[in-house]
């Protein structure tokens, strides 16, 4: 069974099918027989004593998220009782919804992560975008306002740098900002409409997370 994960380890007590979850080695095994329950410090027993009592190492496996377990089986392999799922259903709708939420979150991060124009980095979080848009008034309301000083950052060093922006450069800068934002939504739509619908298995889901989610945003 693919996508199995180890949920717990402990001790298996014979035909009574009682287990203790919580790590290896287990400190207690609960044995239920004839309605009477008692506790045994299984890790303190010798191997022979455990064999007499029918106590075996125990491992329980589950499945990764977005799976429903419809049935289970218990098998013994190399002296270890193993409980594992059989008949597992992949909840593809939930997996796709999770990917859509991750894509939306990633788009927001990239959208607000800024862009580079004329070798200078400009912020596009709410504060940075508002500041850039409000600078339009300097050119619209004051015909004598030839240029404005702007504090931006160097893309590689993140050091603050002063730049002078005239009306032509400002217009080009705003076009670049809008292109950056538009590209983020375009990529979100592409991933949502072209890639997510093809997700049918958990391996598809994992592949998308590893190779598709963070790629091709800019």
Reported as a single tens digit per residue, the pLDDT across 63-96 is: 989 999 899 898 888 888 888 898 999 999 999 9
Contact 16, 32 (CB under 8 A): yes
- Look at residues 55, 47, 45 and name the one whose alpha carbon lies nearest to residue 76: 55
User: Is 98 a member of any domain?
Assistant: yes
| Calpha distance 85→63 (Å, rounded) | 7
Domain that holds residue 203: 92-212
Is 208 in the same domain as 100? yes
Is 166 in the same domain as 85? no
pLDDT value, residue 129: 93
Is 33 in the same domain as 123? no
What values do phi and psi take at 154, rounded to 5?
A: -75, 135
pLDDT value, residue 115: 96
Q: Which two tokens stand for residue 210?
A: 């590893």
Is 101 in the same domain as 37? no
User: Is 23 a member of any domain?
Assistant: yes
Residue stretches of the chain with pLDDT short of 70: 1-2, 11-45, 50, 53, 142-145
Count of other CB atoms within 10 angstroms of residue 60:
19
Q: Looking at 90, 119, 140, which one is the last position of a domain?
A: 90
Is 125 in the same domain as 74? no
Is 121 in the same domain as 36? no
Q: Determine what percent of the chain falls in helix, strand and coil, rounding each to the nearest 5.
A: 40, 35, 25
Count of other CB atoms within 10 angstroms of residue 18:
16
Is 133 in the same domain as 182? yes
160 forms beta bridges with 153
User: Is 116 a member of any domain?
Assistant: yes
Total tally of structural domains belonging to the chain: 2
Contacts of 72 (CB under 8 A, 6+ apart): 83, 84, 85, 86
pLDDT value, residue 215: 96
User: Is 161 a member of any domain?
Assistant: yes
Q: Which two tokens stand for residue 68?
A: 């429903």
User: Is 217 a member of any domain?
Assistant: no
Alpha helices in 85-150 (DSSP H): 92-111, 126-134, 136-140
The terminus-to-terminus CA distance of the chain in angstroms comes to 39
Is 128 in the same domain as 156? yes
User: Is 218 a member of any domain?
Assistant: no
Is 68 in the same domain as 106? no
**Residue 60 vs residues 5, 53, 66, 128, 190: alpha-carbon distances, Å:** 9, 20, 18, 52, 40
- For residues 154-171, one letter each, b for 16 or more C-beta atoms within 10 angstroms of the residue's C-beta and e for the rest, the string is ebeeeeeeebebeeebbe
User: Is 151 a member of any domain?
Assistant: yes
83 forms beta bridges with 60, 74
pLDDT value, residue 121: 96
Is 130 in the same domain as 187? yes
Q: Looking at 28, 63, 90, which one is the last position of a domain?
A: 90
Is 182 in the same domain as 159? yes
Is 84 in the same domain as 105? no
Q: Looking at 90, 105, 121, which one is the last position of a domain?
A: 90
- Look at residues 119, 152, 118 and name the one whose alpha carbon lies nearest to residue 135: 152
């Amino acid at each position: 069974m693919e996508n199995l994960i180890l949920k717990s380890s402990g001790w298996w007590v014979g035909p009574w099918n009682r287990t203790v979850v919580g790590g290896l080695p287990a400190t207690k095994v609960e044995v239920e027989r004839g309605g009477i329950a008692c506790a045994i410090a299984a890790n303190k027993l010798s191997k022979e004593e455990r064999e007499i009592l029918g106590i075996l190492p125990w491992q329980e496996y589950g499945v990764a998220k977005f799976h429903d377990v419809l049935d289970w089986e218990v098998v013994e392999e190399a002296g270890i009782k193993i409980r594992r799922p059989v008949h597992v259903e992949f909840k593809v709708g939930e997996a796709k919804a999770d990917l859509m939420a991750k894509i939306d979150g990633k788009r927001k991060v990239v959208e607000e992560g800024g862009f580079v124009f004329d070798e200078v980095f400009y912020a596009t979080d709410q504060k940075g975008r508002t500041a850039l848009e409000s600078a339009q008034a300097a050119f619209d309301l004051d015909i004598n306002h030839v240029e404005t000083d702007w504090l931006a950052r160097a893309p590689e060093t993140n050091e603050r740098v002063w730049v002078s922006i005239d009306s032509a450069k400002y217009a080009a800068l705003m076009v670049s900002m809008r292109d950056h934002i538009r590209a983020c939504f375009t990529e979100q739509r592409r991933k949502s409409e072209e890639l997510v619908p093809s997700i049918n298995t958990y391996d598809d889901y994992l592949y998308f997370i590893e190779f598709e989610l963070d790629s091709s945003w800019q």
